Structure 1
Amino acid sequence: GRAGRCPDPALQLLYYPSLYGRNNLPSQATYEDGYFLSRRSMEWYAAQYVQRDEDWTHPSFVPGHTAELGGLAPAVIVTAECDPMRDEGRAYASALQRAGVAVLYRCYPGTLHAFLNFYALMPHGKAALRLGGRALRRVFAART
């Protein structure tokens, strides 16, 4: 990998990812009391990982703060329209594209955080899972 400790990832497959730690992106304010994920719960989850204040901006915790994104694996990034984390995925997709990394970004309209859990009931959930599955299949087929 980049740090020399393990192989490089073949693909970044990210479903409604948290990538920027403490931030004030618009979707966080718009959906801070959203279904399945609130600002308060996001802060609690993050606090389980963060030990020191400087960790909130450390690239190993918040990859969106990584200065050099060029050379990273291609990415498939899926977000939900009505999710406080939506703008993090969108911002990371844009940053990767600016760095020359191949990105497929999809924001599914009308969906909430964790919509993949309801794939049997929601066509968008099934579509998002298939999108990721096809991307993984392509990447691993190319390696054989």
Structure 2
Amino acid sequence: MSLRRALAATCLLTSLVIPLAGSAQPLTFAEAYDRLAKSCGSDIDKLCSKVSLGGGAVKTCLDRNQARLSVGCKAASAEVFQSLAKRANAQAAAVKVCERDLGQYCSGVQPHDGYRLQCLLTASKVVSSSCKQAIVDAGWN
């Protein structure tokens, strides 16, 4: 398993961690990948090289090996996984937060392929401030 694939899978499949309190903006997936690669690359190669990709297996491996992780990896992985959870939670919540705006401004738009999000972005001058913030928090704008 390549480090790049392991980190990409870790970043994309992480959703089972506690949100980061007090962080202004969660990391983007690219930022999370970069931070893990820089801080945990050698730890992942050494401790998790036989872990299969998917389902948060690399995160589970890092969690299981906390006592053996480098200090930098411990700090970075905690921050990264908390931030990614915050992003995932924001994405899940955005649809509910924007539900009224979707009904009011985007009722005829097909609910697939990002058309509804594009509609909300186009109507941003009239969309509620809570919906606008939910879109930002989700990383969609």
Using structure 1 for the length normalisation, give the TM-score: 0.26
The structure number with the bigger radius of gyration is 2
Instruction: Indicate the structure with greater helix content.
Output: 2
Task: Give TM-score, length-normalised by structure 2.
Answer: 0.27
